[in-house]
Structure formats: C-alpha cells, structure tokens
A and B are shown apart, each in its own frame.
Chain A
Amino acid sequence: MNRAGIPIEEYVCSGHSACPGCGALLVLRYVLKVLGKNTIVTSPACCFTAIAGMFPDTCMEVPLLYNAFETTAASASGIEAALKIKGKKDNTHVVAFAGDGGTADIGLQAISGALEDGHNIIYVCYDNEAYMNTGIQSSSLTPMGATTTTNPIGKEAGWKITPKKNMMDILVAHNIKYAATVNPSYPIDFVKKVEKAKATKGFSYIHAYSVCPTGWRYQPELGLEMGRLATETGAFPLYEVENGKYNITYKKKTKNVLEYYKLQGRFRHLSEDFINDVQAYIDQEWQKLILKEECSKK
C-alpha cells in the first residue's frame, strides 16, 4: 500500500502491446490492485484482449478467460457458478472486463440477464467511447459530436448527433446493488469504489473512463489531464449508486466542455453552435444527477 492507500501490487505486467498512453490497462491495473490475486478475469473481443499477449505469452498474472464479443456477462456467470459448485466462490472474485461496445451494445442483453439472475460478479466496462479494436467505429457510448470511421465527416456533417447511452441508469433500473463511475485521473476515488464493489454480495458494475489517444487523437502524455477535464466539465461525472441511492463523489463541475473537446481531434470539426448544444445537454444531465442525489437523501 502506498501513502495514498493504493496497493502497490501489480497483476498486469509488462510485455503487452497497448498503444502508449492507453487507458484500458490503467483501469484494469487499478481494479486488480484492489481485488488481488484471487481473481479470475473474463474478457471479450476488444482492444484489451488483442493487446494482452499472443499465445503462449500473456501480461496477466491472474487467470484470464477470453470469451466471444457479446458473452462477457454470461461467461462471468458461468465461472461464478462453477466456482460455487466447486466450493471456491467465497474466496475468489470474478471480474468481467469489457469495452463500451461489448457492454452497451452487443453484450447488453447478457448483462441484463446475468444481473437479474443474481450473479456475484464485478462487471467493469472500460469506456473508450468507440469500437477501437476494429478501427474506431461508433458505439452507443460515443459522445455527441465525435467523428469516427462510421460517423465520418463528409460534405454533410457526419458526426455523431446522439448522446451517450446512460449505462448507469440502465443498470440502476435492474435494482443493482452497487454501480459506480470511475476515472483513473482520480485514483483514490477509483480504489474506494472498487473496494465497495468487492464487498458487494451480488452483481456490481464499474463504469470506467478510459482514454484512447489513438482513437480520440490527442498527445498520449495528456491522458491524465484529459481525465480531469472530462470530470471537471461534467462530460464524465463521478458518482455511485448504492442500493438505489445516488452519491456524487466529485461535485466541482467548474469548466466548460469546450476546454475538454478542443484538445481532441475527434471533435475538431464542431461549430460553436454544436458545442453549445453539447454544453446544454451536459448541464441538463448534471442537473438531473443532482436531483437524483437529492431524492436519494429523502
């Protein structure tokens, strides 16, 4: 444990092939630091599995099961059920680790099923806001205004008009016991939330902000700064929902979204008008979040 209370153990070692500055591995490292050695990870087709190592090499020091793109939650439930019947569940954590596409799009049905069926797993979505592994196509978590290879800028405006799907609310609607958003730029908050997920008996969900310099087009060394801006502008608010009660864990929404958007190539084409629309949307969602928190207190 270092002075900030973050375990120093590492379960992801060097030798992987992620781009410099990739957020996905940072997210996984923090998650595993908290959960420790007695953890089994299952992960679908996504950047992470492509970079974790080619057979017979691996960067993982805990067991990792590769699964098909849309099956992460089912795969995790399977591991949990088998551990249970073998009498090993009590001291083993099962982690589903998937991208935004594998979570909010193709894998959503399996998540809904596994959550309702009461499985004791920790589902971590690392949200890099597009299908990166296949070359930066839009997902339902690609933010408003971003251009991707399936939202290309042409003669007409081709960027993504619709906002991100609200995964947290979808899971809260399933009466999930614990769900939280995390951001590696706020490691202490991150670790605390994973600890809560670890202590939860039942399905818990961690939605992790995960920078992608390759897909977002910015300098890789700006990753942590990007993360701070995402939260300070309210583009990626930090909060948790415990048994239906909302709790915002970072309240200082002080910056305009332009400060965040202007650093990234994927937003470069946007007009002032559109940025204003994005700002209005973010403000409205922030207000809703505050109301949800207030209602929780009553």
Chain B
Amino acid sequence: MVKKIMTGNLAAAWGAKISRAEVIAAYPITPQTIIVEKLAKFISDGELNAEYLRVESEHSAMAACIATSQTGARTFTATSSQGLALMHEMLHWASGARTPIVMANVNRALAPPWNIWADHTDMMSQRDTGWIQFYAESNQEVLDTIINCYKLCEDRAIQLPAMVGLDAFYLSHTSEIVDIPDQDIADKFLPPYKAFYPLDVEHPLSVGSLAMPHQWYSEFRYKIYKSMEKVIPKLNKIEKEFNKEFGRNYTGSLDLYQVEDAEIILVAVGTVAGTVKDTVDYLRSKGLKVGVIRLRLFRPFPSEELIKALKNASFVGVLDRSFSFGNEGQIFSELKASLYQTNRDPLIKDFIVGIGGRDITTDTVKKIYENCQKCLKNKKIDQEIEWTNIKV
C-alpha cells in the first residue's frame, strides 16, 4: 500500500491503471484533461499496458469504447459537461449493447453562459441512458469506486456501463492523501475481463442488429431493467469484499451521517456532503438533532435504502445541484416518488444550491437547517423549491 498526495483527476487515472484498463479512448475537456493526460503518460512510460485512442470527439470516444468493449477489452474513458452531452446518443448505445465501460465524469455546468465549475446538470441529464451513476465525495472514493465499478459492471448478472462523478475543482483539482491499493491484491480482487460474446472470427456473430416490435426489442430492454435491480445487492457484496481487502468502510448506495435519531435530514450528492457533515457536527454540539444522507448512487435509485434511512425524520431537505426546468431538482423528484406509497409523510423541501460552482459554505448550510427548523415548527414548508443565495 502506498499513500500519495493527489488530485481527484489523478485518482481517477490511478483507478483505471490499478484496474488494468486495456483501452482508453478519450477527448480532452476542462477540468477532465489531467485524467487522460496522466493515462497517456502511464502508457508511454510503459506503466500501463493499454492502447490510447486519440479520437476527434467525445462522440467518437464513446463509439470507440463500445467497439473495444465488444471486442473484449477492458475499457475506460473520461469526460465532463459538454463532452458528456455530446456522447448522449452513444451512452444509450453502450448500455443497450451491454458493454461494461467505466467512465469518470468531472461534474461541470453546461453552457451558456460558459462555466467550467461544479454542478450536476451534466450527469443528471443522462439519468435515463441505462448507466449506473456514482457520485464521489473524496479522491480516495474516486479511485476505489472505479475499481469496484469494473467488478460490478463486468459481473454476468449486470453487464452495464457505469460513470463515476467527481465535482469539478472540489475534487478534480484538489489534492488529498490517497491510498493506492496494492496491484497484487487488486489483481486478485479484479481478475482480467472476459467478454461473454466478443467479436471473434472463430465464432462469428452479428451484434446489435434490427429487432422488430413483435420480436425481441422489448425483451432486451426488460433485461436491462432486471439487471439494474441487481446492482445494489451486488454492490453491497462487492464493497464488503473490497473493504476487507483494502481496509475501507464503504456502505453501498448511501452514506449515512448522524441520521439515526435526526429530526431534520438533508439529502445531498457529491462534495457538498462534506460541508454538510461539518455543519451537522456544529449543530449537534448545540443540541440539534440533524443529520445528512449522501447518495453515492443515483442510478439505480436507492429508494428502499432511502425510505429506511428516513424512517425517523420529520423533515427532509434535498440539496439539488442541478435542476429540471419546468419541474424541480431531480433528486427531490425521485425522493418524493420513493416516499409515495409508503406511510411516511415527512415535510420535504428542495434547496437548489451550488449551480455553476457557486460556493456552498457552512453558513449556507446552517441557514438551510435553520429554515428547515422554522418550517418544522410551523408544520408547513414556506415554499417547495428554494434557489439559495440567488441575487435576483
């Protein structure tokens, strides 16, 4: 085990290296560039035995990744924001083709106006593409989740791609101490990739052809639905093994902080959870019963786990770092839908925070908790959706 000080971008590159990715097809975009630069360097230094495809766009990057994966190579790519949006068509293709590609996505806002800072619009917009979606809180988690993703995605029961989100700059360009897993142990944990139906001249198959309405199309899609249902139990199992091998303590789809007896629980995604946890510590020292749930996984959506974790809460505040125009924050929508048809009916409010990288400080979070407290006292929310720290 080696500890190094590294940024989230380097952690992502190390994740792909320790996983022994065999092909990387990628296109540069701020703030992701360092991931692909580092991988290219690993390859040219002979530290990683892989092919690097210098494609001419993100659309081609994902198209190439699909083909490499279908030919039987473990495949990695990384992108961000506009790049992820450009991949959209191919993201559907990757899951439809059941390719276990793993991708790091540096979460960044979309233009216009141009903005390279953190928000989750890029990945939230790809919610329905059939990709497993993780959001990390630390650089260590970025590295570890990439390794775990390969194990998860390549499992016969899953066979789906996954993206790991890391917040622009808060992780991508911030250095932390990261523990790099031993290659030997990692190799045992994650054996070489074996595609079930690779392109092979000895066993010719036509892959991805036409399926008529009365034939198999619906069944192919149904099978994706069924595989997605198996992701959370599989993840729990994989992480248990990972924790044991590498001395970590990942807890599956959710990261719970002080929720057991909490009256007010905030639900958050990504790095903001760290700020919220600090604020929880402070408010707890003042005697307030507050907690936070961090969603590590957004697809599949951990409904059951959330319902369980919220069972004692009287008030739920959702921190959405993205927005579905014409409706509300995406996590808010999904959480409300999860609570429907349970007999739980906590007060629930959506806080839109950190759009385009606007800073979320402990003060911001304190104010949010205060607002939740006030609403709880009045047994009524003041407004369903609140854009915090807005100047207009």
Interface residues in chain B, defined as those with a beta carbon under 8 Å from any beta carbon in chain A: 22-23, 25, 49-51, 53-57, 59-61, 63-73, 75, 89-90, 93, 199-201, 203-212, 215-216
Contact of A64 among B67, B68, B207 (CB under 8 A): B207
**B89 (CB) vs chain A CBs: closest residue:** A68
Query: Which residues of B lie under 8 Å from residue A188 when comparing CB positions?
Result: none
Would you call A135 an interface residue if the criterion is a C-beta within 8 Å of the partner chain's C-beta atoms?
no
Contact of B71 among A37, A74, A82, A114 (CB under 8 A): A82
* A interface majority secondary structure: mixed
A residues with CB within 8 A of B: 37-40, 42, 49-50, 52-56, 58, 60-68, 70-71, 73-79, 81-86, 92, 109-110, 112-114, 116-117
CB-based closest 8 A-B pairs: A113-B56, A78-B67, A82-B71, A66-B208, A71-B63, A78-B64, A74-B60, A58-B206
- Say yes or no: A53 contacts B53, CB within 8 Å: no
Find out whether the CB atom of A86 lies under 8 angstroms from the CB atom of B215: no
Question: A81 to B23, Cβ gap below 8 A?
Answer: yes
User: Which interface residue of A70, A71, A76, A117 has the most chain B CB atoms within 10 A?
Assistant: A71
Interface centre among A62, A82, A112 (most CB of B within 10 A): A82
Query: Of B53, B67, B71, which is within 8 A of A86 by CB?
Result: B71
Complex contact B67–A42 (CB within 8 A): yes
For residue B208, which residues in chain A have a CB less than 8 angstroms away from its CB? Answer: 65-67
From the candidates B55, B73, B75, B205, name the one contacting A74 in the complex (CB within 8 A): B55
Most buried by B among A37, A38, A56, A77: A77
Contacts of A38 on B, CB cut-off 8 Å?
Answer: 201
Contacts A65-B208, A76-B67, A83-B71 aside, 13 further interface pairs with beta carbons under 8 A come to A37-B201, A40-B71, A53-B209, A55-B215, A63-B199, A64-B207, A74-B25, A74-B55, A81-B25, A92-B201, A110-B63, A112-B56, A117-B53
Cα of A163 to Cα of B301 in the assembled complex, Å: 53
Asked whether B63 lies within 8 Å of A68 as measured between CB atoms, the reply is: yes
The reply to whether B93 and A68 form a contact with Cβ atoms under 8 Å apart is: yes
A71 engages B59 (CB within 8 Å): yes
Q: Please judge, given known A-B contacts A37-B201, A85-B22, A113-B60, whether A78 and B71 are in contact too, CB under 8 Å.
A: yes
Q: Which residues of A contact B64 (CB under 8 A)?
A: 74-75, 77-78, 81
Given contacts A40-B199, A61-B204, contact A77 B53 (CB under 8 A): yes
Q: A82 touches which one: B60, B72, B211 (CB < 8 A)?
A: B72
On whether the beta carbons of B67 and A75 are closer than 8 Å, the reply is yes
User: In the bound complex, how far is the Cα of B71 from the Cα of A92, in angstroms?
Assistant: 12
Contacts of B71 in A (CB 8 A): 40, 78-79, 82-83, 86
Most chain A CB atoms below 10 A, which of B50, B90, B206, B207: B206
* B63 in complex: contacting residue of A75, A81, A86, CB < 8 Å: A75
Q: How far is the CB of A194 from chain B (nearest CB, A)?
A: 18
> Is the pair A82, B68 in contact by a Cβ cutoff of 8 Å?
yes
Closest B residue to A11 by beta carbon equals B204
Contact of B60 among A42, A64, A110 (CB under 8 A): A110
- Report yes or no: A54 in contact with B212, Cβ–Cβ below 8 A: yes
Q: Which residue of the partner chain B has the closest CB to A92?
A: B201
Residues from chain B with Cβ under 8 Å of A112 in the complex: 56
A228 to B211 alpha-carbon distance, docked (Å): 37
| Min CB–CB distance A191 → chain B (angstroms) | 21
| Cα–Cα, bound, A63→B54 (Å) | 25
Q: Which chain A residue shows the least CB distance to B25? A: A78
Question: Smallest CB–CB gap between A256 and chain B, Å?
Answer: 42
Report A-chain residues with C-beta under 8 Å of the C-beta of B215. 54-55
Cβ contact within 8 Å between B204 and A60: yes
- Contact in complex: B209, A55 (CB < 8 Å): yes
A59 to B, closest residue via Cβ? B206
Residue pair B22, A53 in contact (C-beta under 8 Å): no
Residues of B within 8 A of A58 (CB): 205-206, 209
- A157–B292 CA distance with the chains assembled, in angstroms: 69
Known contacts A81-B68, A82-B22, A85-B73; A63/B201 CB under 8 A: yes
Q: Which of B56, B66, B69 contacts A109 (CB 8 A)?
A: B56
Interchain Cβ contacts under 8 Å between A and B, 25 examples? A39-B201, A42-B67, A49-B210, A58-B206, A62-B204, A63-B200, A64-B204, A64-B205, A66-B209, A67-B66, A74-B25, A74-B55, A77-B25, A78-B64, A79-B199, A81-B51, A85-B23, A85-B51, A86-B73, A109-B56, A110-B59, A110-B60, A113-B56, A113-B57, A117-B53
Taking CB atoms, residues of chain B closer than 8 Å to A50 are 210
CB pair A81–B90 under 8 Å, yes or no, is no
Residue numbers in B under 8 Å from A82 (CB-CB): 22-23, 51, 67-69, 71-73, 75
Shortest distance from the beta carbon of A291 to any chain B beta carbon, whole Å: 32
Q: Name B206's contact: one of A52, A68, A109 (CB within 8 Å).
A: A52
